[in-house]
Structure 1
Amino acid sequence: MSWSISVGRLFGSELRIHLTFFLLLAWVAASAYSAGGTAAALQNLLFVVALFACIVAHEFGHALAARRYGIKTPDITLLPIGGLARLERMPENPAHEIIVALAGPAVNVVIWGVLTLALGAETDVTDLADGQFDAASFLGQLATINMVLALFNLIPAFPMDGGRVFRALLSLFLDRVKATRIASMTGQGIALVFGYLGITTGNPLLLVVAVFIFLAAAGESNDVATRASTSTLVARDAMITQFEHLGPTDTIDAAAHTLIRTTQHEFPVITEDGTLEGFVTRNAIFKAMVSDHIAAHPVTEIVERDIPRVVLTAPLQGVMDALGKGAPAVAVVDKSGGLIGYVTRENLAELVVLQRA
């Protein structure tokens, strides 16, 4: 995720912190300082850090449960509104999806149990009402908020955890596309309620959560429908076969002229023996042209070499996954590695529209 920094790896997943999270810490510290001085600021910061440690544990609950079914979690990102575990894919087996979805809230319930049963903390929602945290009730407030997190995440607002359980239950009786559509519409309805409450109560965080749920529900519903419509297709069905390419000795200026006289947004760079070196993108050309004395340099200075390669009969869904990870294109090659064609997000989107039509 852009605007995030990596702070290390844990259980095979990269842990990242979005830069806006530090704005949250600054706001919490400033608010607490104005109300109670330095001690209050430190106590509130400590509580927020402890809270987000619990959120990280929640996300790793999802990640470790997904690993049981062979699904990796490349990274987990901390945001001001919570955590986001980016699974390679969601399990399509309803029972597996339920287990993965419930694993996160289950971690919060376990933390609540340890704090209350083992450490004697008391659960009292009224302690959270003023938004200020003190040393005397630190464990109790932490226990309470873990229980609140568990219950809140079980609300059937897709794609929250409860919404995923709802979708999985629907999938027992309906096909996945229809189940996702119903869960998505339900989630968006709940998001509108959250948005209304956020506006009427003056709670900006609830409003942000509402917007996130509304957009994420629509996005995932569209993704599921797209995958269903392309499930029987292969790379051959979507690839571009008529294109202009560049050579390693072509200049960036020449690439710019090729960009102008064609409709392509990316250009394969192919050597004389037919080997694909990579792709030069429109954005890379734009960026290079505004730099002094670089237009006459060869395109190999701006080529993107980490290009996924697939064969003609590779499933199109694998191509979609590669494009989703940020690749500008996916090269379709023959047995000797020669470029036959390539797939981009743009022509893939056109294919999906045609398939749905």
Structure 2
Amino acid sequence: MRANLQIGHIGGINILVHWTFIFLIIWIVVSELYRGGDATSILFNIIVLIGIFASIILHELGHALVAKRFHIQTEKITLLPIGGMASFKRMPKSPKKEFLVSMAGPLVNLIIAIFLYYSIPVKVYFQMNFTEAFEFLMNFSLSSFLFYLFAANAVLFIFNLIPAFPMDGGRMLRALLAMKMSRIKATRIATSVAHIIAVLFLFSGLLYNPFLVIIAIFIFFSAFAENQMVQQKALLKGHAVEEAMMINMTTLLPDDPIDIAVNHIIFGTEKNFIVVEDHQVKGILYHKDIIDNSNKNLSVKEVMKTKFQLLKYSDNLVDAYNLIVNKKNAFIPVMKDDKLAGVIDATNLNEFLLLQAKLAY
């Protein structure tokens, strides 16, 4: 099953929804049926959910718009059951720019909330007694839909200001700290704050709401991953791709039978292969494609992938790190003077990181 389903694109940015989103729909249906709801209440709640996630898309597009002003490309926006995530080609190096990009998303939710606040009589609803408010909220109308949307955007604004990764507040905190200290130290402090908040969410969730436990786990591991990424990039800074690339690798010709690749997998340790002809890279032959076609009488060129990225041997290893982290099973040819000089993937990059960590400490 594909992890993400593309539902559209805006301004060249792919909008994806994670397959686990279906569990949110199922949860709404089951909850409504358990409470005695009918098809009308289920449909209304699903429409509200769609409205909330439309607000989340606008939130992420806010990040993307400000990032674009700093010449940073947004590759995709992924919708998850707990929110959304914009994937940038890189994050701004300037703390001030990172702060502005991070702040843009919550500001979008604040603007939507303010607009809805003055578009519908929110003050009137807040003045209702319990019975009137309950009847209003249970009335499936445009007014109640807009009120739910107002409340959701207000919550999104406040929630995203929590100073914990991966929320925008965590990145804003890191950016503010980085104005006075190194990015590494700022990230370490912001991660510690995130872990404290995760523990508070965990205990609150155990006492009151199990959903907070999920958020706590998400915050804890996201903060850990962010800190690890910054630490690793610091170790790679100033190093070139040629220092970490593999040079002893097997290359194949486009007209070679796929059986040759199968034999290399069985009798060796290599899994992926570069396809070369006349010193030019023609394609990449991935392990999965070899296995899937191992029982067919095919040539390498019929199986290889012809869309791939290249690195130069003099490129910064941080650039290679970004490519490898953002691409599943990355296997990137490295060129020198327009000829294949080596290849780099996650395995040998991690080995280089381990060696650098030993030298650093």
Q: TM-score, normalised by structure 2?
A: 0.89
Q: Which residue identity does 2:144 align to in structure 1?
A: S
Partner of residue 215, structure 1: 221
Aligned pairs (5 A) from 1:76-155: 76-122=77-123, 134-135=140-141, 137-155=144-162
- Paired position in structure 2 for 1:28: 28
Q: CA deviation at 1:145?
A: 2.2
Counterpart in 1 of 2:332?
Answer: 330
Contact kept in structure 2, 1:43 and 1:133, CA below 8 Å: no
- 3-state DSSP of counterpart to 2:53: helix
Count of residues in correspondence between the two structures? 348
Q: Does 1:351 align with 2:352?
A: yes
Provide the rounded CA distance (Å) in 2 between the counterparts of 1:120 and 1:306.
54
When structure 1 is superposed on structure 2, of 279-288 and 39-48 the one drifting more is 279-288
Post-superposition offset of 1:15: 1.0
Runs of 5+ consecutive residues of structure 2 not aligned to the other structure: none
Tell me if the contact between 1:133 and 1:141 (Cα under 8 Å) persists in the aligned partners: no
Matched, 1:254 2:260: yes
Q: Could you give the per-residue CA deviations for residues 214-270 of structure 1, whole angstroms, max 9, x where no partner exists?
A: 111111111111111111011111111112222223222221211222222222122
Q: Distance in 1 between matches of 2:85 and 2:2?
A: 13
User: Aligned partner of 2:228: which letter?
Assistant: N
CA distance in 2, matches of 1:63, 1:120: 32
Shift of 1:347: 0.4
C-alpha separation between the residues in 2 aligned to 1:201 and 1:78? 26
Residues 1-357 of structure 1 aligned to structure 2 (within 5 Å): 2-34=2-34, 35-122=36-123, 134-135=140-141, 137-204=144-211, 206-271=212-277, 273-289=278-294, 293-294=295-296, 296-326=297-327, 328-335=330-337, 337-357=338-358
Q: Partners of 1:66 and 1:211 in 2: how far apart?
A: 28
- Equivalent position SS for 1:117: helix
- Matched to 2:149, the amino acid is L
Which one-letter code corresponds to 2:216 in the other structure? A
Contact map agreement 1:95 1:168 (CA 8 A) in 2: yes
Counterpart of 1:46 in structure 2: which amino acid?
Answer: I
**Matched residue type, 2:146:** L
Return the letter of the residue paired with 1:286. I
- The amino acid of 1:310's aligned partner reads L
CA distance in 2, matches of 1:44, 1:77: 22
Give the deviation of 1:332 after TM superposition.
1.4
Flag the 1:230–1:353 CA change in 2: closer, same or farther, 3 A: same
Q: Is the 8 A contact 1:109 1:147 kept in 2?
A: yes
Shift of 1:305: 2.2
Provide Cα deviations, 1:269-301, integer angstroms capped at 9, x if missing partner.
222x22222222222222223xxx41x322222
Q: Which deviates further from its counterpart, 135-144 or 229-238?
A: 135-144
Shift of 1:198: 2.2
Q: Is the CA contact 2:96–2:179 (under 8 Å) kept in the aligned structure 1?
A: no
Change (3 A) 1:338 1:349: same
CA distance in 2, matches of 1:233, 1:42: 55
Kept after mapping to 2: 8 A contact 1:74/1:87:
yes
Seq. identity, %: 34
Is the CA contact (8 Å cut-off) linking 2:163 and 2:170 kept in structure 1? yes
In the alignment, the residues of structure 1 paired with residue 17 and residue 234 of structure 2 have an alpha-carbon distance, to the nearest angstrom, of 33
What amino acid is the match of 1:184?
A: T
Gaps of 5+ in 1: none
- The residue type equivalent to 2:180 in the other structure is F
Q: What's the secondary structure of 1:269's corresponding residue?
A: strand
Equivalents in 2 of 1:216, 1:319: separation in Å?
22
Question: What amino acid maps onto 1:234 in structure 2?
Answer: A
Q: SS of the counterpart of 1:137? A: helix
Counterpart residue type for residue 219 of structure 1: A
Moved more, 255-264 or 338-347: 255-264
